[in-house]
Amino acid sequence: MFKSLLLKFVKSLRNDSHYCCSQVPNVLHVLQSQNVGEKIEVKGWVKSLRKQKENVFVDISDGSTGKKLQVLVPQKLFPAGITAGASITAEGILSLSPRGQIELSAENIKIVGKCVLDSYPFAPRKQYQPEYIRQYLHLRPRTNTFSSILRVRSSAVLAIHKYLNSEGYTNVHTPVLTSNDCEGAGEVFKAIPDDINLLKTMVKDKVPLEEAFFDTKTFLSVSGQLHLEAAAHALSKVYTFGPTFRAENSRTRFHLSEFYMLEAEIAFLDNIQDLIMIIEKLIKHVTKSLLDASDNDLKFCHGENKLDLTWINKNFPILTYDEAVAIIKKRSKQFKAEFDDKVGISKEHEIFLVNYCGGIPTFIINWPKSIKPFYMRECENDSTRVASLDLLAPGVGEIVGGSLRENDYNKLKEKLPNSNAQLNWYLDLRKYGGVPTGGFGLGFERYLLLLLGINNIKDVIPFPRWPHNCSL
Amino acid sequence: MFKSLLLKFVKSLRNDSHYCCSQVPNVLHVLQSQNVGEKIEVKGWVKSLRKQKENVFVDISDGSTGKKLQVLVPQKLFPAGITAGASITAEGILSLSPRGQIELSAENIKIVGKCVLDSYPFAPRKQYQPEYIRQYLHLRPRTNTFSSILRVRSSAVLAIHKYLNSEGYTNVHTPVLTSNDCEGAGEVFKAIPDDINLLKTMVKDKVPLEEAFFDTKTFLSVSGQLHLEAAAHALSKVYTFGPTFRAENSRTRFHLSEFYMLEAEIAFLDNIQDLIMIIEKLIKHVTKSLLDASDNDLKFCHGENKLDLTWINKNFPILTYDEAVAIIKKRSKQFKAEFDDKVGISKEHEIFLVNYCGGIPTFIINWPKSIKPFYMRECENDSTRVASLDLLAPGVGEIVGGSLRENDYNKLKEKLPNSNAQLNWYLDLRKYGGVPTGGFGLGFERYLLLLLGINNIKDVIPFPRWPHNCSL
């Protein structure tokens, strides 16, 4: 008895549903369709409105495209209370404006939600500085520029996944919570349950209370590289693309406390030129596909006609670290600080070097071993240098770091930062069918700065976190 | 002078490189190509080997597919030291085996890395229990089942991104670090810089030292929903797909401390049936595309011929909470514990309900307000119920939770869990062009359990974290 009742109920629910989301076209579809004469309903937000004698012209957006749909509303149908920022539904017939643009001649228009203009921080058609807009992170997606950025960012994510998949990479989610501190740089956040009573119920003998949840100190990952290497020793080509963290008090326009990194690791890779080609091909391919997919939004971010990504058709120059330093030292007078071998190449130097190489992204290879992490492999003909690379981008500086990894068990064992057992598993990879591997990490937000011509990294991530700032 | 030197250097580097990674075909390509007579080089790991009088048969894998390439090596060419687990390169001619399989007749075979068999935990062709394999997370990708799982997981990630993109969703990365505690359940990790000296240099007046980095208490996100709602109020259809965290002492086979969640939020959505259709369509579409893309690996995980995903062609049943409870109460004797309204539907009940509905994923809708979070919208005709849903999957239980959100400013203000200003931004969304929204969260690992027929959630994520376990 129960079952037949159930099935009847299920059936009636399904027949009643009208599936609004698939029926209502979005603004992008409407503008692309050009179906003059069609009767449609659209839903969106009022970006601006102009009242004329008989009609009101309402520009609406639903975020599906940066372009607005103009809705022509006869004065007598125009409800009181519709202002910029309000959400509406409009029903009517698609027609062509005198200028040949598709527009909606509304027969019915309704307010969904009013906008309290007194306290709304963005006035229609007004330009604001990014620093001002950043004070309202929860409303920022409503601005034209930031909604363009969000769409491009989303397209870039998809383009990266699709490209790496087509190249035979497996996406391996490396963990955020880790008991390793990858590069041993110490600039890490630790994670602790907020509930001290929970910790008390879990604590074991000889374990500090703070570490009772996992029985070990636990950090937020600064890199998934070591974990990726484990996967590369079985799947050959792997990548991870997720959030990474730095507890650094860096307040430049290139630093975030939480940022996205694309990291890839490739087995049987044993020379730096191959790694260079892999990175160059990735960046060019993804950028080209975005020029197709996100053309309007890219142009909007750069300012019409200013989009200059000509580097995608050029070979990326390659300098050795020593060559780069020689070039810097020859021009030492133009820099704020003198070149210091212990500090290495600064942001100022990076941007200079790219300009020197014609404004094309430039690889710097073969870095001094002394300033690079323990896992990098020495150059074959110079044990003071490691087979590593940075890729510097115009106006941004470093966007990629990569290297070959030390794959000799004994050499790696000597180099391990601490003698405890914490990284024995990493050493193990070289003990059981070890292979040469190499890989890289691309700072996703820095790549977006390059792609979008945006000045500050806080403006290419939906919810930026930096020192003294973690709102929402 | 410097510039010409540079360009010469760049050119020579490029000419010398031989791009190994694009030249060496992977095992998948070799098996698909069927290019008998072609001379190739492959690189991979020895999965097993059989010595016969004149030849050694070596099965190798490079992780590009679950299938192995058989390499036929004349005894006289076979180097000492090649064992299961070792990494090798093999050059030779593709030919057909007597059984018509493509195989490689090796002319040259080299060891890349030996495998120290004494301590290697996996013997060739031997089956191990998942609990045993889980002790060696860094070597686990080398097992047949787990490498299949990793490939399916990767394909599922791509399928989800592609599908949502094609449906007009924008991927919005919600933050891991947040000053909000979403559902207010309290089962959160907090994040604190590990370096107390850094905190001392950053601390401001009236801010506790522990909170000095961000000037606020900072948690690891348990859900991106509230942030997604902010984006949905401009972009209409948005999703996030990343790690989420629970500091819960749950040690079941369905719980992890760090897991992946796909969350989507849709603007102008105002009835639960539409949300049901969106979720059902997503799951069916992604699963169907994986049946094409990952057929071999899926069959391998399920065991040949046992793959039963017939539910993808059926309508998902829908029960109200009250109907579900009535069904459970009628069968109360078969459950371990009596049904308790305050506890709600248990895992045991969930799995029973799906079986009751024919083993098809089943929606339970209209839950009691008292056991659901503050942001859910009341049902129109019953203020004790909220317009929410759980989707229960066969053998797994809940894999999706979703609801319409309270979009009335005043009602939401009354319901906010604490009177402080922490969530004023969330309230703001209803003040400036507010719209009805609805959304859901899909537990990605639980979906993989359903898809793969795997028993324990720790075996469908590369690096599982659960109470007392955070190795690597």
Q: Which of A125, A152, A175 is the last residue of a domain?
A: A125
- Please indicate if any CB of chain A lies within 8 Å of the CB of B404: no
Q: What is the pLDDT of chain A when averaged over all its residues?
A: 92
* Residue ranges of A 186-225 with Cβ closer than 8 A to chain B: 186-195, 198, 201-202, 204, 213-216, 218-220
**pLDDT score recorded for residue B350:** 96
Q: Do A189 and B189 touch (CB under 8 A)?
A: no
> For A105-251, where are the alpha helices, taking DSSP H only?
130-133, 144-166, 196-202, 225-235
Cβ count within 10 A of residue B259: 22
Distance CA B445, CA B261 (A): 8
User: Which single residue is written with the structure tokens 């229609």?
Assistant: A124
Residues B295, B412, single domain; the answer is yes
Cα distances from B125 to residues B55, B84, B144, in angstroms, run 20, 10, 10
Distance from CA of A3 to the nearest CA of B (A): 8
One-letter amino acid of A89:
T
Listed residue (B302, B316, B328) closest to B358, CA to CA:
B316
Distance CA A15, CA B454 (A): 35
3-state SS, residue B462: coil
Residues A113, A242, single domain; the answer is no
Distance CA B330, CA B318 (A): 18
* Residue B241 included in any domain: yes
Q: Residue B369 in contact with residue B387, Cβ under 8 Å?
A: no
Stretch (H or E) spanning A12: helix A2-16
Decide if pLDDT at B376 tops 60: yes
Residue, of A125 and B265, whose pLDDT is higher: B265
Distance from CA of B436 to the nearest CA of A (A): 8
* Residue B114 included in any domain: yes
Tokens (6 digits) for B171: 């991927």
* Residue B468 included in any domain: no
Residues B105, B26, single domain; the answer is yes
* Residue B339 included in any domain: yes
* Residue A467 included in any domain: no
Residues B50, B100, single domain; the answer is yes
- pLDDT tens-digit series, residues A152-179: 999 999 999 999 999 999 999 999 999 9
> Domain containing A416 — which CATH number?
3.30.930.10
Q: Residue A339 in contact with residue A326, Cβ under 8 Å?
A: no
Q: Residue B407 in contact with residue A59, Cβ under 8 Å?
A: no
**Option in A141, A278, A357 nearest B230 (CB):** A141
DSSP annotation of B84 reads T
pTM for this model (two decimals): 0.95
**Option in B113, B142, B270 nearest A234 (CB):** B142
Distance from CA of B37 to the nearest CA of A (A): 24
Q: Average pLDDT of A372-387?
A: 95
3-state SS, residue A159: helix
* Residue B9 included in any domain: no
Listed residue (A78, A138, A344) closest to B430, CA to CA:
A138
* Residue A356 included in any domain: yes
Distance from CA of B233 to the nearest CA of A (A): 8
Number of H helices, E strands in chain A: 14, 17
**pLDDT score recorded for residue B125:** 81
Q: Which of B125, B149, B173 is the last residue of a domain?
A: B125
Tokens (6 digits) for A194: 């907020």
∠ Cα A230 A236 A239 (to 5°)? 70
- pLDDT > 70: what percent of chain B? 93
Residues B237, B338, single domain; the answer is yes
Least confident among A369-383, B193-207, B291-305: B291-305
Residues B43, B153, single domain; the answer is no
- Show Cβ contacts of residue B41 under 8 Å, excluding neighbours closer than 6 positions: B24, B89, B90, B91
Residues B317, B405, single domain; the answer is yes
| Number of domains composing chain A | 2
Distance CA B326, CA B347 (A): 16
- pLDDT tens-digit series, residues A247-280: 999 989 999 999 999 999 999 999 999 999 999 9
Find the domain containing A253 and state its range: 141-187+222-459
* Residue ranges of A 413-442 with Cβ closer than 8 A to chain B: 425-426, 428-436
User: Which single residue is written with the structure tokens 């989009």?
Assistant: A307
Residues of A whose CB is below 8 A from B431 = 115-116, 119
Residue, of B9 and A104, whose pLDDT is higher: A104
**pLDDT score recorded for residue B20:** 42
- Please indicate if any CB of chain A lies within 8 Å of the CB of B291: no
DSSP annotation of A313 reads G
Which residues does residue A104 pair with via DSSP β-bridges, in sequence order? A71, A94
- Please indicate if any CB of chain A lies within 8 Å of the CB of B250: no
**Option in B219, B270, B472 nearest A227 (CB):** B472
Residues of B whose CB is below 8 A from A237 = 21, 63-64
Tokens (6 digits) for A284: 């060019």
Residues B295, B425, single domain; the answer is yes
- Residue B304 binned pLDDT confidence (cut-offs 50, 70, 90): low
Interface mutation target, options A189, A423, A424, chain B, most CBs of B under 10 Å: A189
**pLDDT score recorded for residue A20:** 42
Cβ count within 10 A of residue B380: 10
Cα-Cα-Cα-Cα dihedral of B46, B50, B56, B60, to 10°?
-20
Task: State phi, psi for A403 to the nearest 5 degrees.
Answer: -170, 165
> Domain containing A67 — which CATH number?
2.40.50.140
**pLDDT score recorded for residue B305:** 63
Give the count of Cβ contacts less than 8 A between chain A and B: 450
Q: Is A34 left (phi over 0), alpha (psi -120 to 50) or beta?
A: left
Decide if pLDDT at B65 tops 60: yes
Tokens (6 digits) for B133: 């394999």
Cα distances from A183 to residues A328, A331, A365, A401, in angstroms, run 27, 32, 19, 13
A416 exposure class (CB count in 10 Å sphere: 0-12, 13-18, 19+): middle
Q: Give me the DSSP letters along B115-178.
A: B-TTT-S--TT----HHHHGGGTTTGGGSHHHHHHHHHHHHHHHHHHHHHHHTT-EE----SEE
Q: Residue A301 in contact with residue A452, Cβ under 8 Å?
A: yes
* Residue B386 included in any domain: yes
Residues A389, A268, single domain; the answer is yes
Distance from CA of A10 to the nearest CA of B (A): 5
Residues B359, B408, single domain; the answer is yes
B85 exposure class (CB count in 10 Å sphere: 0-12, 13-18, 19+): buried
Residues B356, B237, single domain; the answer is yes
**pLDDT score recorded for residue A419:** 57
Q: Which of A125, A155, A176 is the last residue of a domain?
A: A125
Task: State phi, psi for A285 to the nearest 5 degrees.
Answer: -65, -50
User: Which single residue is written with the structure tokens 């992977």?
Assistant: B26
Q: Residue A246 in contact with residue A187, Cβ under 8 Å?
A: yes
- Please indicate if any CB of chain A lies within 8 Å of the CB of B123: no
Listed residue (A38, A36, A111, A35) closest to A73, CA to CA:
A111
Residues B75, B158, single domain; the answer is no
Q: Residue B186 in contact with residue B180, Cβ under 8 Å?
A: no
**pLDDT score recorded for residue B336:** 85
